[in-house]
Amino acid sequence: DSGVTQTPKHLITATGQRVTLRCSPRSGDLSVYWYQQSLDQGLQFLIQYYNGEERAKGNILERFSAQQFPDLHSELNLSSLELGDSALYFCASSVLGKEAGELFFGEGSRLTVL
Amino acid sequence: GQNIDQPTEMTATEGAIVQINCTYQTSGFNGLFWYQQHAGEAPTFLSYNVLDGLEEKGRFSSFLSRSKGYSYLLLKELQMKDSASYLCAVREVPVTYNTDKLIFGTGTRLQVFP
């Protein structure tokens, strides 16, 4: 157990819909990262928040948005869903400032768009 | 640009040794990470290299050559439970940038046979 909590674990929805994925980082971690993992593809970095502010941005579509709240949990909003958005969405957190600053991953949210 | 290459699949026999290679070309370099990911599960941290040389941790070792943009993960005394994907990842910027964002390769799926 990494200490990172993601909900829901599974989500099935239709094209055109909107969903929200939620992540609670490890206790004490201020930084949250979102990654997308499609079938047979690597982890694609989407976005990072640090203490409520956006810190780094990757290949995140305009239809996707995220935020980090004062209690440090984060939400990833996916809208106008397409079939290609079906993937595992991972949240990770880290302790910044540590030399070997590994990321701790949650169990992921599996999104299926039909 | 960013490019991290790993073999797609490898097979090995229980009790044997396997070496998984990773080459990278990134805009910056501040550490190379190896993660293990069982199918449908969260990636878990295995090792970290920032200086050239070999880091050993039990049955697993990781090597880095920064001048060659090359790393490998060595798994000894293979066990059936080592069947998983192994992800090579690079941290491009120093930790002082307030990000531990990692760029991942597509992963190497290792199958261990009895």
Task: Tell me what pLDDT residue B98 has.
Answer: 72
The C-alpha of A100 sits at a distance from chain B's nearest C-alpha, in angstroms, of 6
Chain B CB contacts of A31 under 8 Å are 98-100
The C-alpha of A17 sits at a distance from chain B's nearest C-alpha, in angstroms, of 24
Do A107 and B102 make contact, defined as CB atoms within 8 angstroms?
Answer: no
CA atoms within 13 A of residue A50's CA, in its CB half-sphere = 14
Answer yes or no: are the C-beta atoms of B71 and B56 closer than 8 Å.
no
Do A41 and B106 make contact, defined as CB atoms within 8 angstroms?
Answer: yes
Do B98 and A98 make contact, defined as CB atoms within 8 angstroms?
Answer: no
Give the 3-state secondary structure percentages of chain A, helix then strand then coil, rounded to 5: 5, 50, 45
Write out the two tokens for A88: 């595992």
> Strand order in A19-24's β-sheet?
A5-7, A19-24, A74-78, A64-68
The C-alpha of A47 sits at a distance from chain B's nearest C-alpha, in angstroms, of 9
Burial of A11 (0-12, 13-18, 19+ CB in 10 A): middle
Partners of A76 in beta bridges:
A21, A66
Residue B1 confidence class, pLDDT cut points 50, 70, 90: low
Q: What is the mean pLDDT of residues B30-56?
A: 94
Write out the two tokens for B47: 């090792």
Task: Tell me what pLDDT residue B10 has.
Answer: 97
d(CA B98, CA A51): 10
Task: Tell me what pLDDT residue A97 has.
Answer: 63
Do A48 and B50 make contact, defined as CB atoms within 8 angstroms?
Answer: no
Answer yes or no: are the C-beta atoms of B110 and B10 closer than 8 Å.
yes
| B55-71 pLDDT per residue, tens | 999 999 999 999 999 99
| A55-113 pLDDT per residue, tens | 989 989 999 999 999 999 999 999 999 999 999 999 999 877 666 678 999 999 999 99
| B77-112 pLDDT per residue, tens | 999 999 999 999 999 876 566 777 899 999 999 999
Chain B CB contacts of A56 under 8 Å are 99, 101
d(CA B100, CA B33): 11
Chain B CB contacts of A4 under 8 Å are 42
d(CA B21, CA A112): 33
One-letter identity of residue B65: S
Residue B17 confidence class, pLDDT cut points 50, 70, 90: very high
